[in-house]
Amino acid sequence: MEPDIILADILTEELSLDPTRVVVYDQNFIPPKDDLIYIIIALQTPRVIGSNNRFDPDNDKEIKTISLSETYNIEITSKNRNALLRYPEVVTALTSTYSQQKQEENQIAIFRTLQVMDLSFIEGGSSLHRYRIPVIINSTRIIEKVITPIDKFQSPEEAIE
């Protein structure tokens, strides 16, 4: 499962929100028109820590492994004061028992970074309460591909005319 999807699941569960209120960034997303909270999770900075390719001769598979450290922004927004009052719950959700279970289950690690940023001023006269909480997610992805090893190619045949 993708790290941003896991993060969305954790926030949905811990803040007791409708799953439609926690979205992974999509440029076609249209914010709700009501005053209630919605959360957007967006990848900010992907960073490759290392990668490795190896061949498994028992299964004729190439196994590609990549270790990533990705920074995601969690933005909690509302037209009423709910985002202002509930952004601390986002921070505590990241270290909750449910979060720890999901991290272990999916072999990822989530770390909060920097301070919570108040972005309400960006909205100008629209009076949105908006807070950004950056997090780092470390994960490893494994991609397997069946290949034909060199020693299993057909032998060339001589054509005699």
The torsion of the CA quartet 123, 124, 128, 133, rounded to 10 degrees, works out to 50
Which pLDDT score is estimated for 121?
Answer: 77
pLDDT at 151 over 90: no
Q: What mean pLDDT is predicted for residues 70-92?
A: 94
In this structure, what CATH number is given to the domain that contains residue 13? 3.30.2000
d(CA 55, CA 109): 27
* Predicted TM-score (pTM) of this structure: 0.83
Flag whether 41 is in a domain. yes
Flag whether 145 is in a domain. no
Which pLDDT score is estimated for 155?
Answer: 67
Q: Quick: pLDDT tens for 13-24.
A: 999 999 999 999
Q: How many residues does the chain have?
A: 161
- 15 close to 5: Cβ distance less than 8 angstroms: no
Checking DSSP bridges between strand 38-56 and strand 117-118, what pairing results, if any? unpaired
Flag whether 117 is in a domain. yes
Flag whether 152 is in a domain. no
Number of domains forming the structure of the chain: 1
Flag whether 20 is in a domain. yes
Q: What mean pLDDT is predicted for residues 126-142?
A: 91
Q: The domain containing residue 19 runs over which residues?
A: 3-46+70-136
